Amino acid sequence: MITRVRFGLLFLASLLVSCHDRARGSARVFQWSAPNEHETLASFFVSGDSAALRGLLHADFVVQPPEPDSALQGTAAVDYLVRLAASTSVEDSRFAPMATAPEGPFAFEQGVWYLRTGLRTFRSPYTLRWRNTPEGWKVVLWGWGRFR
């Protein structure tokens, strides 16, 4: 009986370690693969470097801002982000990913987007979908909610 219990506990422990390793591996896929792109994208609202932003966006890029704005695709979406960043004055912009998952040539990311101006910090949920291309990781979808 003790041998069966030990075997059962060892089996359960190995199963949990295997699941944990798989979960950690999938969560690190994006972060390990594209940390510079991730930081550049988040910091665009501070730096205003439109060339760097354009270089990170896929040709079929879709932006999904909160209401009253509407979703846009392609050049219109890129132009929208450039105008939005030019009219936004923040000292810090960063993403705090809560979940990332590989999806074939894509990486799906969800988290909290923080913007800081002076002593006030605003946050919003965000979603990014990245595509692994021959030129590197490119954003194909960027959506966020209202900042609070």
Look up the CATH number of the domain holding residue 87.
3.10.450.50
Range of lowest pLDDT (20-24, 66-70, 106-110, 136-140) = 20-24
HSE toward the beta carbon, residue 96, CA cutoff 13 A = 9
Domain containing residue 55: 2-144
- The number of domains in the chain is 1
Residue 132 identity: N
Q: Which of 120, 121, 115, 104 is nearest to 144 (CA)?
A: 115
More confident residue, 22 or 123: 123
Task: Note the pLDDT of residue 78.
Answer: 92
Report the share of the chain in percent with pLDDT over 70. Answer: 76
